[in-house]
Amino acid sequence: MASIEIELSPKIQNPDAPVLPRKFPMGGRSLTLPSSIRPGRPRHTIRYSGTPEYASVNTHHQSMKTSYKSKHATYRGMVFYEGWDPDKGGTYVAGAKWIIENLGRKPSRDYELHIVDRRLGFVPGNLAWVPRSEHKREEMLTKLLIENQQLKDRLAKYESS
């Protein structure tokens, strides 16, 4: 087995030197070298920001915040879990971590994170990875139900006046 020689930088040669996080193009923190190379230094196990799971949590939160717009009307009045809401002291990373630990990584590009019961909202235990075609069908049915309810409300208001 061939051995590989690595020339260590001054920071690695001196374990007491401060470690500054390196920036990635997509944001987030860099992974440190394993503790076997850098004695006494902790290492990060998984980088959650920049993952599809992190992006799903972020996108759903933004859609719920802008649910007053017609494009995101299906999210109007929906609950977003406080532990994942940065506006309420939570983090998207916590949401991505829960999704990876409980639902697994995104199976493929053809899958999307689906909210099982819209009355409960975007909360742990109410999410599932589903194929994009099924997700779009559910979204369309939800929009039709919302439009139908709006028409019923208008008709009731018109009849009562």
pLDDT of residue 39: 52
The burial of 112, by beta-carbon neighbours within 10 Å (0-12 exposed, 13-18 middle, 19 or more buried), is given as: buried
pLDDT of residue 40: 53
- Alpha-helical regions (H) of the chain: 10-13, 52-65, 92-102, 132-160
pLDDT of residue 4: 52
pLDDT of residue 35: 47
φ and ψ at 114, to 5 degrees? Answer: -115, 135
Q: What is the DSSP string of 1-17?
A: ------PPPHHHH-TTS
Residues 6+ apart with CB under 8 A from 39: 15
pLDDT profile of the chain (161 residues), mean per 10 = 49 52 48 48 60 89 81 79 92 91 91 87 92 80 76 84 76
